[in-house]
């Protein structure tokens, strides 16, 4: 009896059995931009999502829909997009009239795809755990949106900092953002922050 020659072609549904390609964690914002549990506002140019690991009571990320890897890849003519991102973040902020926000970018972001942080200044969150977390929002590592826009318009590019300079800022001693208190550690800082929160 003749035996059938082994087929070189995959069975019709073999490809669907292969495990989905895993994306790197640094691409996570791209998935979150389509996550209805995180999206709070979306139009043809931007998406505003809740930060998945918020470092304050209110922490959002405004992300352009066009592909922009990071601050360094911005061209002068894209300052208008940055203005649009800040403007729409401020419109969202108007829903929280008693909340103080800052709007800015991490000089050396960990996540791919440009994102503007909109973060309330209470820093009351269980996800805020480390000195690096604190310093990333409370030193020159946090670049104010207005300064970034001005730099892009005046110099045609966004000047950030070297990784070494960034590391030094993240490693700076802790300091309260509202007063001169310099706590020894994060638990002491977190305890202290309640003095500044008007509940």
Residues of this chain that bind ligand AMP (CB under 6 A): 28-29, 32, 49, 51-53, 61, 106, 109-111, 115
Closest residue to ligand AMP in the complex (CB): 28
> To the nearest whole angstrom, how small is the minimum distance from the Cβ of residue 115 to ligand AMP?
6
Give 93: exposed, middle or buried? Use CB within 10 Å, 0-12, 13-18, 19+: middle
| Residue with Cβ nearer ligand AMP (35 or 154) | 35
DSSP 69: -
Least distance between ligand AMP and beta carbon 13 (Å): 31
CB of 32: closest distance to ligand AMP in angstroms?
3
Name the packing angle between helices 163-170 and 131-138 (round to 10°).
110
133 is catalytic: no
d(CA 103, CA 146): 8
Find the catalytic residue in 115, 177, 192, 196.
115
Q: In the sheet where 59-64 sits, what is the strand order?
A: 39-42, 46-50, 59-64, 116-120, 101-106, 142-144
The distance of closest approach from Cβ of residue 64 to ligand AMP in the complex, given in angstroms and rounded to an integer, is 14
Tokens of 94: 């108007």
Asked if 114 contacts 63 with a C-beta cutoff of 8 angstroms, the reply is yes
**Which residues are catalytically annotated?**
115
């Amino acid at each position: 009896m003749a035996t059938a020659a082994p087929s070189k072609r995959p069975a019709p549904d073999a490809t669907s059995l292969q495990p989905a390609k895993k994306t790197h964690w640094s691409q996570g914002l791209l998935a979150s931009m389509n996550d209805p549990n995180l999206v709070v506002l979306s139009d043809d140019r931007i998406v505003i999502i809740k930060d998945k690991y918020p470092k304050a009571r209110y922490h959002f990320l405004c992300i352009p829909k066009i592909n922009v890897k990071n601050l360094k890849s911005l061209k002068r003519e894209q300052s208008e997009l940055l203005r649009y991102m800040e403007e729409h973040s401020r419109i969202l902020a108007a829903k929280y009239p008693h909340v103080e926000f800052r709007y800015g970018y991490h000089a050396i972001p960990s996540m791919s795809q440009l994102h503007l942080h909109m973060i309330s200044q209470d820093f009351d969150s269980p996800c805020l755990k480390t000195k690096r977390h604190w310093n990333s929002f409370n030193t020159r590592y946090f670049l104010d949106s207005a300064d970034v826009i001005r730099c892009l318009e005046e110099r045609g590019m966004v000047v950030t900092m070297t990784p070494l300079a960034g590391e030094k800022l993240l490693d700076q001693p802790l300091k309260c953002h509202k007063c001169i208190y310099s706590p020894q550690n994060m638990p002491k800082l977190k305890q202290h922050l309640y003095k500044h929160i008007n509940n």
